[in-house]
Structure 1
Amino acid sequence: MQPPVVITRPGERGAVLAAAIEARGLPVARLEAMRVEALPETPEQRAAWLDFDHFRRVVVVSPFAAVCLAEALDRYWPQLPLGIDYYAVGAATAAVLHERLGVRVHVPPSTAGEDTSEALLTLGSLRTLHDEKILLVAGEGGRTLLAETLTERGARVTRLAVYRRTLQPPEPAMADCLAAGDFRALVVSSGEILEYLARWCSGAALNQPLIVSSARLATLAGKLGFRDSVVARGATPTALAAAVADACDPQEADVDQDDLEKG
């Protein structure tokens, strides 16, 4: 039996990624290194939801943040206020916003090549903000780039943490898998998870293909000792699965990717 592709994306999105990789004929093992849970509503959150119509733009950083936003707005706003522009760091987050709220969502340009905060900030509508009120919906901790840059550009930013991420050690079987490097490839789309799991990775594991969703993560991986990083064309299941196929069977992946682009 061939070694599995180890994926680290938590929850339902991890299941979708697993299915995309398995569809390419590769076995998958899920490593649950992070648990994501919504935070209890705080007075700050409640104030933001009640004053939601005061915001000119709303920026959402992850699919789970989008779910939390949609559930809150369903409680406070049976009908969404008009005149608000919505932004998402990546396509998966935009899809949740569109499905749950029915809104048009601005995403990073496809030419940016990555689903990142940096790419989102290249949008022309976020360059000059002139005292506009912006709601940034995110998790606890995480990067501060969006809030800092939008503030520097003139916005009044309210950053609202609506969920927490909790790291948990790999189960014994998965810890042994990392220690032995007994996997076909490792897929990581979170810098927090990558840094956390590096402590369990042996020299053999560091030499196995590591599939990441951005050049920023590839740079981090190099600093952590990973020697074979492959940057996917984004963080979507399709992009990550294509990169896995490329790393595991380059000739077959080239054919699949050509077919995908023609379709």
Structure 2
Amino acid sequence: MGEQILAGRSIVITRPVGQAESLCSALAALGAEPLRFPLLTIVPVHDTAALEAMARRLGEFSLAFFVSPNAVNLGLDALLRGGAWPAGLAVATVGKGSEAALAARGFRQVIAPASGFDSESVLALPAFQAPEVAGKRVLILRGDGGRDLLGDTLRARGAEVEYLTCYHRRGPVDDPAPLLERARSGRLDALTLTSSEGLDYLQAMPGGDALLGVPVFVPHPRIGERARQAGFARVSITAAGDSGLIDGLIAHFSARNHNTYPG
């Protein structure tokens, strides 16, 4: 990893503040210029009544599922003010970032897929099958909105499901003008997109079509399809996580350097 294989490449990182540092550091170590432009802004819940009420009810649930590192950190900050985590409440999540966030908070036994980073991967786990969840109460901790596939499927399998909003998601707050100017002048080499919702905000951005010619790297086919529908001409689907995005970027630019990559 010490080789400057991405030297001189300007790569836009669109993850929220607090979730981009590891990827930016890894890209910088490879010689790239990481450009932070968060497409999602994470805002804590201001009315904490629902969180406080849930803190008193945690013992009613058999399984708690955290959808993201933000759900872990902001959810636990509120729920643990009233006491310790119930001993009988199993914890589940998806994604290495969320697993790391739970480990940092002291959770050692976390149910999570070893591969795959979406609701479909979670629903394939033995702990989420109908014989395991039927008649049990499941708490899903998340931001406002999002996909309902997990909750809907668990209900169909006989579980009682409740959602708890731990944070709000908003659009970008940074001025996009410098980023768009770099795109217009051909000084952006790649754009990473890790959220379909973030892509929606990008589409709504005045002048955002200046980015459509920049190669896009996404860690999930669903986001890739959305990027193509948005008009991006060059979309690469990578493996999940930081390592997947980095490997995809390296493969792309190595191919270009050897004149084997079209365009």
Structures share fold, TM-score greater than 0.5 = yes
Runs of 4+ in 1 over 6 A off after TM superposition: none
Q: Is the CA contact 2:193–2:218 (under 8 Å) kept in the aligned structure 1?
A: yes
Map 1:98-247 → 2, pairs under 5 A: 98-110=103-115, 114-128=116-130, 129-168=133-172, 170-171=174-175, 172-180=177-185, 182-199=187-204, 200-202=207-209, 205-234=211-240, 236-247=241-252
Alpha-carbon distance change, 106 to 250 in structure 1, aligned in 2, over 3 angstroms: farther
Shift of the alpha carbon at 1:247? Answer: 2.0
More moved, 148-157 vs 130-139: 148-157
Paired residues, number: 246
Work out whether residues 73 and 101 of structure 2, in 8 Å CA contact, stay in contact via their aligned partners in 1.
yes
Residue in structure 1 matched with residue 3 of structure 2 by the alignment: none
Q: Give the TM-score normalised by the residue count of structure 2.
A: 0.86
- Which residue of 78, 83, 93 maps to 2:88? 83
Q: Per-residue displacement from partner, 1:46-71 (whole Å, max 9, x unpaired)?
A: 22111111110001101011001221
Tell me the amino acid that sits aligned with residue 192 of structure 2: V
Partners of 2:232 and 2:39 in 1: how far apart?
18
Q: 2:26 aligned with 1:20, yes or no? A: yes
**Greater fraction helix:** 1
Cα 1:251–1:117 shift into 2, 3 Å? same
Q: Identity of aligned pairs, percent?
A: 27
Mark the runs of 5 or more structure 1 residues left unpaired by the alignment: 253-263
TM-score, normalization by structure 1: 0.86
User: What is the rounded CA distance, in whole Å, between the counterparts of 1:13 and 1:7 in structure 2?
Assistant: 10
SS at match of 2:224: helix
CA distance change for structure 1 residues 50 and 116 in 2, over 3 Å: closer, same or farther? same
The partner residue of 2:98 within 93, 96, 99 is: 93
Q: Over residues 157-210 of structure 1, what are the superposed CA-to-partner deviations in whole Å (9 max), with x where a residue is unaligned?
A: 11011101110365210132345553111001010111221354436x323321
Distance verdict in 2 for CA 1:46–1:227, change over 3 Å: same
State the AA in 2 paired with 1:44: A
**Is the contact made by 1:121 and 1:127 (CA closer than 8 Å) also made in structure 2?**
yes
Residues 179 and 202 in structure 1, CA contact (< 8 A), matched pair in contact too = no
Maintained 8 Å contact 2:51/2:78: no
Per-residue deviation, 1:212: 0.6
